[in-house]
């Protein structure tokens, strides 16, 4: 927008001459009255320019994936956060958004360090609320976590024998009874209170490999697919998305997790500053509108297999009070 200002300034410089001609033709006004009228018109021009310079404000948007950008080998990332952000942009015209690709831990650090940063698709925790503001409505809804293993592995056979009456597997039970099996998780990701407690517990540190590379979920899925590790905790849509991009015939099986709810909510977090609070208010207003649209639902559905769409619509309607 700043590049347009010189043209406006040239226009402002040329305008006095035309105004003088116009004033010269108003003989009935009298000299003093004409000069007063001319000074009033000229004084208004700079004020309009100042108003326009205040409209655009910088915002740093933190994400772990950019749409259509490979982040691991040839895999395209799952970016529900980016897809839904695009639908909110028309309601955020006052911001100039700069996107930065970072992992989860780096995003949390930048929310504390920068006065104008926001991050999408984050689970709310008390620690995160100490350092950021959270949106009233979630930006993203996603199904509960599952345990994944290779279908032809020893781990898969063990998992099949550990199902409870509801068809779920307890991660705690796996840790206690299947001593040789190891998990891989994404470092810095929030898995919910119960699972986070197990992942961070000192006695289980040798059972959880926390992957810190920038490839995020794609690298975790690849570790299980290639047999480098036994099990992973992952969202079904994420695992299915990356698995669909592979052509070597390796199959994965998954099981519901007793310590994970049926669905989880990813909120927008913004810096705990005056700027961050103002930006979060704009996000709240945008979410209140766009979550009621079919386009926002479709931005979620595109990442799920068609046979899961009906079940997901029920979850979406429950969260956003819609009736799709």
**Cα distance between residue 107 and residue 112, in whole Å:** 9
pLDDT at 192: 87
**Cα distance between residue 38 and residue 20, in whole Å:** 8
Instruction: Tell me the mean pLDDT per 10 residues along the chain, length 324.
Output: 38 45 47 50 49 74 64 54 93 94 90 96 92 97 92 96 94 96 90 92 95 70 91 88 80 93 93 97 97 96 85 94 96
Exposure string of 236-263, with b = 16+ CB inside 10 Å and e = fewer, is: bbbbbbbbeebeeeeebbbbbbbbbeeb
Could you tell me the strand order of the sheet in which 168-169 lies? 168-169, 252-257, 146-150, 231-234, 183-186, 208-211
pLDDT at 86: 93
pLDDT at 42: 52
Task: Please choose, from the candidates 182, 183, 281, 283, the residue with its C-alpha nearest in 3D space to the C-alpha of residue 234.
Answer: 183
pLDDT at 29: 43
Task: Please choose, from the candidates 207, 225, 205, 218, the residue with its C-alpha nearest in 3D space to the C-alpha of residue 156.
Answer: 225
pLDDT at 214: 53
pLDDT in tens, 65-118: 654 343 434 445 557 888 999 999 999 999 999 999 888 889 999 999 999 999
Handedness of CA 23, 25, 27, 28 (dihedral sign): negative
Give pTM, 2 decimals: 0.69
In the block, tokens 């040789």 appear at 180
Taken in order of first residue, the domains within the chain and their CATH numbers are: 2-53 (no CATH), 57-141+264-320 (3.40.190.10), 145-257 (3.40.190.10)
pLDDT in tens, 269-282: 999 999 999 999 99
Strand partners, 101: 63
């Amino acid at each position: 927008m700043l590049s347009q200002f010189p043209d406006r300034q040239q226009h402002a410089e040329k305008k006095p001459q035309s105004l003088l001609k116009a004033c010269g033709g108003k003989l009935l006004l009298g000299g003093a009255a004409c000069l007063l009228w001319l000074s009033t018109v000229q004084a208004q021009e700079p004020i309009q320019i100042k108003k326009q310079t205040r409209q655009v404000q910088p915002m740093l948007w933190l994400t772990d994936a950019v749409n259509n950008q490979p982040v691991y080998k040839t895999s395209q990332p799952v970016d529900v956060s980016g897809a839904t952000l695009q639908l909110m942009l028309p309601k955020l015209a006052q911001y100039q958004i700069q996107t930065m690709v970072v992992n989860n831990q780096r995003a949390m650090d930048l929310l504390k360090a920068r006065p104008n940063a926001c991050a999408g698709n984050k689970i709310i925790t008390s620690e995160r609320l100490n350092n950021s503001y959270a949106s009233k409505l979630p930006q993203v809804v996603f199904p509960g976590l599952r345990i994944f293993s290779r279908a032809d592995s020893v781990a898969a056979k063990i998992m099949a024998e550990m199902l409870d009456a509801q068809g779920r597997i307890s991660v705690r039970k796996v840790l206690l009874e299947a001593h040789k099996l190891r998990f891989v998780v994404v470092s810095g990701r929030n898995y919910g209170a119960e699972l986070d407690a197990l992942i961070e517990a000192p006695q289980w540190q040798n059972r959880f490999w926390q992957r810190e590379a920038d490839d995020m979920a794609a690298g975790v899925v690849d570790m299980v697919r290639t047999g480098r590790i036994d099990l992973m905790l992952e969202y079904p849509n994420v695992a299915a998305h990356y698995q669909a991009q592979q052509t070597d015939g390796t199959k994965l099986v998954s099981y519901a997790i007793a310590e994970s709810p049926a669905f989880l909510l990813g909120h927008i977090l913004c810096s705990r500053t005056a700027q961050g609070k103002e930006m979060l208010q704009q996000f709240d207003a945008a979410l209140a509108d766009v979550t009621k649209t079919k386009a926002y639902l479709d931005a979620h559905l595109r990442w799920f297999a068609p046979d899961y769409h009906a079940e997901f619509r029920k979850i979406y309607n429950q969260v956003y009070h819609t009736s799709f």
